[in-house]
Amino acid sequence: MGFSVSASVAIIFAATLIAFGMFHTAAFNTVERVTDARNAAEDDLLTQQNTAIAIHNATYDDGNNSLIVTVNNTGASELTVEGTDLIVDNEYQTSFTERSVDGDAGTDLWLPGEQLRYNVSATSQPDRVKVVSGPGVSSTEVVVRG
């Protein structure tokens, strides 16, 4: 009863420590990932709450067969031109005659208070346009003849 009992207790104690160490590591990593995901979701929500856009006008010019859409960044978040989407009559637009921020076609940064301008070729007058920003905030407007 001497050595075998002591050895058995030592093995069980060592196994318990190893098992607890593995459980603690796995649980800690899981809690850390969940916490990081919640923080990222809160940051995204704050960005979305600080984002606001408003279509200034959507005009179809039948002389040039072009649709001109100007959108104001009226929120507090800076947006990207590449991250902003234009939808014309439920069709996602990928090619533009012009896409510029306050006359600068070379920038991708759309700051608060600046105006984004789209110029799209269109063979007929569309009914409506929708602009969707990167954080998911959107604005819709009826197209008028210009």
Amino acid code (one letter) for 5: V
Q: Tens-digit pLDDT profile for the chain (146 aa)? A: 566 777 888 888 888 888 888 888 888 888 889 999 999 999 999 989 999 999 999 999 988 899 999 999 999 999 999 999 999 999 999 999 999 999 999 999 999 999 999 999 998 999 999 999 999 999 999 999 87
**Residue 25: predicted pLDDT:** 84
How many angstroms separate the CA atoms of 88 and 141, rounded?
10
How much of the chain is in helix, strand and coil states, percent to nearest 5? 30, 35, 35
Distances (CA, A) of 126 to 11, 140, 145, 146: 78, 13, 10, 12
For 63-89, give one letter per residue: b (16+ CB within 10 A) or e.
Answer: eeebbbbbbbbebebebebeebebbbe
DSSP class of residue 104 equals: B
**Residue 1: predicted pLDDT:** 54
Q: Are 128 and 89 in contact (CB under 8 A)?
A: yes
